[in-house]
Structure 1
Amino acid sequence: MKKRKASLILLLSLVLSMTSVLTACQSGDDSGNKATASKDKPVSLVLTLPTFSTVPKDIAKVQEAMNEISRKEIGVEVQLQIIDSAAYNQQMILMLASGENLDIMSGLFTYSSAYQKGQLTELDDLLQQHGKGIIDTLGEEYINAIRINGVLYGLPNLRDFASGYGSFSMRKDILDKYKIDPATIKTAEDVENVFKVVHEKEPELTVVAPSSDSFLLQFRTFDGLGNDFGVLLNYGEKLEVVNLFKSDDYKNYLQMVRRWYQNGYISKDVTTTSEAVTPRVKAGSLFSYNTTWKPGSEQQESNMTGTPMVLVQTLDSFMPGSSVAAMPWTIPINSKHPEKTMEYLNLLYTNPDMMNLLAYGIEGDHYVGKEDGTIGFAEGVDSKNSGYNLNMTWLLPNEFITKVWEGNELSVWEDTRKFNDDAKKSAALGFTFDNAKVATEITAVQNVYDEYKKVLENGVVDPDKYLPEMNAKLDAAGIDVIIQEKQRQLDEWAAKK
């Protein structure tokens, strides 16, 4: 661009003048933030979380409604990035590695690897200075249960910490059609008999699908101690770390899913399909999928699928040692405003209006209050056409301050607290494995496991042939080194209790 000399001098003078003003404005101490914002302009943050349903089209509307509150309360606005669960982990890896602005991250799928790579901010001082409401809400016991080597890198979300394992979500219309009483389904054998009936009567349906990349995630009687490479069997009854993949429990599980696959209950494309289970139920092509039970989960699954669902549970309710740390909320080192980020998290944990917006959207548009005190879809809105239907309060910072969706008891959150209290608890509850010393072995073992996991744990291949092959490779990759390190850390942790 060509400018007159006088104009250029004037422009430079203005720039220098503005620089002086900004320097004066920013001369105050703000050591907790890597960047500061103008007094009149709110600090802008980025918040990411996965969704297991369709990415909502009304994110911008909900975001603005939340921002109206947070601007007034703490001078912060947020950009919501709600990402399909299938792509979430990879997208977080890229964002963290690139240094892209990222302030609040759901640690589901990402917590362990982000910690290992040094990508998470230490939270102790930030929490004490800017998160008093979080401390009062969670309590020291749950906060301490998520520490790694005594340091806090994430905040547990307040939810069901126990899980009703061995559970399956089944279409009620199919059960009713063939007069199958769900109350009679109590064991894995009972479930298999139901699969047999449905497959014979409805051959066009896929009978069952895993809700993740393997059925094992929701079908377990062991404490995986973070990564399943060294576990505590029998619901974590004893602090003895063993090799899961050489246990009778694992072998029996593989034989079970192998039968399902050979009998045609599991789709032939189970290892390659990327479509989530809930849209498949909505489309009428899937009868059931595995999940975990908790108070209110039946209504939750019905909302997600847009279809009345029935849940059956075949194993015990259990709280593994790492359950409190399973889906923490974190502040990545990418954050330019860690103090304001902690203030915003404090608002999420303590402000019901913020939580209800993030959980359910805008009252009157996405949901309305019901006469019985619950909430439900607004007129003309359902799960299929709603512009905002996350339906996963369990992932958010504090579901206990959200409203109750219709179909649930108004006492569902108190019932959930009791569910946590009554569940079996691992002897390693509160233990968090630090994988730093065996990171090389974990990578090697993970690579082997990834090679076999989907095909073995979904019944695609013969376990009698491929399980010994996998175990030989796991041994060579160093799984025993990981098991020994877990046992060492567990013994030290137990000695300090």
Structure 2
Amino acid sequence: MVTKSTRLRRRKILGLGVTATLVFSVMLAGCGDKKNTQGNENSSSQPSQPSQSTQPPQSASAADDLKPVELKYYVAVAPQKDWSEVNAKINEITKAKINATVKLINIPFGDWTQKMNVFMASGEAFDLAFTCPWLGPTYYDAVAKGAFLPLDDLLTQYAPKLKALVPDIAWDATRVNGKIYGAINYQIMAMPYGVLIDQSLMTKYNFDLAKVTKIADLEPLLEAAKNGGDIKQGISPEQPTSAPPVLGYDSIGTQMDPGWVKLTDPSLKVVNQYETQEFKDILTLYHNWFKKGYIRNDILTAAANFQNDFDNGKYIGKSVIPGGLNGDVTASAMSKVGQKFKMQPLITPLITTDRAIATMTAISRTSKNPERAMMFLELLNTDPELYNTLAFGIEGKHWVKTGDKQIDYGPGLDANTTGYAPNVSWEFGRQALAYYWPGETVGIWDQAEEMNATADHSPLLGFNFDPTPVKSEIAKISSVTTELLVPLMTGALDPEVYLPQFLDKLKNAGADHVIAEKQKQLDAWKASNKG
């Protein structure tokens, strides 16, 4: 575990020209519109190159000088009743400012990997898409497949404000073979990973969350809640692969692929995280909780409905999450369901490559208008009206202002009746533009900026793994992790029985080759960054 006494190399970001405030996010999915979950156009057209004569408009009149275009934008959002209506409102804004309309196409998280893989393989013509290192096809996979355009020149010419507000160290974290392929959705980068618990239960059972220093310390509360009839559906055993620093490691490339580095190891030796004692210990803890009834007995089949169940208060908390500031987790998705959760950090805030690029927007290689797509990203990261409309819906209908930067539901609406509540504001651009919902701490964005500026950083920050040399092995490993790792991490399977089987299958799939390739690339990066 990384504690305040852990001696990582510290790098201050105060001198990197950070001009925007940052925000925290808790990765929660909301609701979207089924009729808009797919695109129908297919094209193998090659990407157009940015036109040197096309300049970002400086005013509404300048926008008239641009030819009208439609941009197709894929986002990971579940069904929303008023999706089309919000899309129309967004187009009023973008039409006036960059003479472009946007066809928003929402794909539920559960369908995202399959659909986006098909679109990329078939040469689907689209302009923009959400991308990240944790949802397939991952950022690295998509870049390796040639699905995204390099953005370096586009950012400089068509999104200078976006480029300036994100520090160089974060842009460097996006680079694959020296090129930027994802525009960062600017938010908190320094993550104080920790546990998340319903405050009402802590009050009822007189549980002091501040004394929790490791995940296992939650057991007395779980026991009391079960004995008191408040276990509900138990605690969510969050995947330890989603929070490597809690185990004392940083990941390389996609988190679930074998090959992590211990944060305190100056040699930066790449190891198979699944062979470590830390990983076995967390699996054993989860399995013991499962046997004691602290984790629901149908957890293996309940994953598809987890988010909806969590939003409706059926879980008492999460065992490990990224996000939160000073123990205050009041994301809109939580306050909207009438629950107040409290987070207890397990490590000091830490910036890793994975968190620096946790949420991005890419421009497809099939885009016919990459210049206008980048103008749209510039607008989305600088225009509060556009950002808050996409994030929260239409002012006066889905939400109303209750203060300068505070909002609440529209007249007669609540969490269950609103027609637009995607709860993924972190997915859409610069989150510092977001208004505050009831229960959220006004001014927390300033705290986030301060934390980002002073946090420790992983010794791997800025290193990006190119999976191309071992892509066949990684494909085989993906099948193995789906088969055994995911069930293991729920607690439902006994690690004494199934962990050795998982490790054998990993080895047969080529885990050693992947680890060796990661070490080779990391050593080359380390050598080039000496001094």
Please report the TM-score for the alignment, with normalisation by the length of structure 1: 0.86
Q: Give, as a single letter, the amino acid of the residue that structure 2 aligns with 1:363.
A: E
Match of 2:147 in 1: 119
Contact 2:324 2:343 in 1 (8 A): no
Quote how far apart the aligned CAs of 1:161 are: 1.2
Contact 1:221 1:315 in 2 (8 A): no
- 1:275-314 counterparts in 2 under 5 A? 275-290=304-319, 291-295=321-325, 297-303=329-335, 305-314=337-346
CA deviations over 1:147-182 (Å, ceiling 9, x no partner)? 1010121112210112222322x3333333333343
In the alignment, structure 1 residue 150 sits paired with structure 2 residue 211: no
- 1:463-474 counterparts in 2 under 5 A? 463-474=495-506
Q: Give, as a single letter, the amino acid of the residue that structure 2 aligns with 1:87.
A: D
Q: Give, as a single letter, the amino acid of the residue that structure 2 aligns with 1:67.
A: N
Q: Give, as a single letter, the amino acid of the residue that structure 2 aligns with 1:157.
A: N
Q: Give, as a single letter, the amino acid of the residue that structure 2 aligns with 1:273.
A: A
Quote how far apart the aligned CAs of 1:120 are: 1.1
Task: Mark the runs of 5 or more structure 2 residues left unpaired by the alignment.
Answer: 1-47, 55-63
In 2, Cα distance between equivalents of 1:482 and 1:180: 44
Match of 2:50 in 1: 32
Pick closer, same or farther for the CA change 1:316–1:167 going to 2, 3 Å.
Answer: farther
In the alignment, structure 1 residue 247 sits paired with structure 2 residue 276: yes
CA deviations over 1:263-322 (Å, ceiling 9, x no partner)? 111122222224343421344432223422323633445235442222233344322233
- 1:420-459 counterparts in 2 under 5 A? 420-459=452-491
Q: Determine which of 430, 433, 445 is the counterpart of 1:413.
A: 445
Q: Give, as a single letter, the amino acid of the residue that structure 2 aligns with 1:384.
A: N
Match of 1:167 in 2: 195
CA deviations over 1:38-76 (Å, ceiling 9, x no partner)? 98973111112213xx53212222212211111111110
Match of 2:242 in 1: 217
In the alignment, structure 1 residue 339 sits paired with structure 2 residue 384: no
Quote how far apart the aligned CAs of 1:186 are: 3.7
Q: Determine which of 173, 178, 181 is the counterpart of 2:205.
A: 178
Q: Give, as a single letter, the amino acid of the residue that structure 2 aligns with 1:226.
A: G
Two-structure CA RMSD over aligned residues (Å) = 2.5
Contact 1:166 1:220 in 2 (8 A): no
In 2, Cα distance between equivalents of 1:494 and 1:314: 29
Quote how far apart the aligned CAs of 1:130 are: 1.6
In 2, Cα distance between equivalents of 1:443 and 1:402: 38
Contact 2:151 2:181 in 1 (8 A): yes
- 1:346-495 counterparts in 2 under 5 A? 346-371=378-403, 373-495=405-527
Match of 2:164 in 1: 136
Runs of 4+ residues deviating >6 angstroms? 38-41
Match of 2:75 in 1: 49
Q: Give, as a single letter, the amino acid of the residue that structure 2 aligns with 1:217.
A: S
Q: Give, as a single letter, the amino acid of the residue that structure 2 aligns with 1:92.
A: M
Pick closer, same or farther for the CA change 1:175–1:254 going to 2, 3 Å.
Answer: same
Pick closer, same or farther for the CA change 1:126–1:333 going to 2, 3 Å.
Answer: same
Contact 1:236 1:320 in 2 (8 A): no
In 1, Cα distance between equivalents of 2:264 and 2:362: 28
In the alignment, structure 1 residue 260 sits paired with structure 2 residue 289: yes
Q: Give, as a single letter, the amino acid of the residue that structure 1 aligns with 2:144.
A: Q
Percent of pairs with identical residues: 29
Q: Which structure would you say has the larger RCO, counting Cα contacts within 8 Å and 6 or more residues apart?
A: 2
Q: Which structure: larger Rg? A: 1
Give 3-state SS (helix, strand or coil) of 2:304's partner. coil
Contact 1:281 1:307 in 2 (8 A): no
For this pair of structures, how many residues does the alignment match?
Answer: 460
Match of 2:58 in 1: none
In the alignment, structure 1 residue 98 sits paired with structure 2 residue 122: yes
Contact 1:103 1:332 in 2 (8 A): yes
- Richer in helix (by share): 1
Give 3-state SS (helix, strand or coil) of 1:192's partner. helix
CA deviations over 1:244-280 (Å, ceiling 9, x no partner)? 0111111111111111111111122222224343421
In 1, Cα distance between equivalents of 2:311 and 2:352: 32
CA deviations over 1:409-439 (Å, ceiling 9, x no partner)? 3221111122223433210111111101111
In the alignment, structure 1 residue 232 sits paired with structure 2 residue 257: no
Contact 2:263 2:458 in 1 (8 A): no
Contact 1:301 1:309 in 2 (8 A): no
Pick closer, same or farther for the CA change 1:123–1:299 going to 2, 3 Å.
Answer: closer
Contact 2:222 2:231 in 1 (8 A): no
In 1, Cα distance between equivalents of 2:273 and 2:336: 33
Match of 2:101 in 1: 77
Contact 2:187 2:430 in 1 (8 A): yes
Moved more, 134-143 or 258-267: 134-143
In 1, Cα distance between equivalents of 2:265 and 2:174: 18
Q: Give, as a single letter, the amino acid of the residue that structure 1 aligns with 2:199.
A: K
Please report the TM-score for the alignment, with normalisation by the length of structure 2: 0.80
Contact 2:73 2:105 in 1 (8 A): yes
Contact 2:205 2:221 in 1 (8 A): no
CA deviations over 1:187-242 (Å, ceiling 9, x no partner)? 3232122111112222672111246xx35424543111122421012477652211
Contact 1:294 1:419 in 2 (8 A): no
Give 3-state SS (helix, strand or coil) of 1:114's partner. helix
Q: Determine which of 350, 353, 357 is the counterpart of 1:318.
A: 350
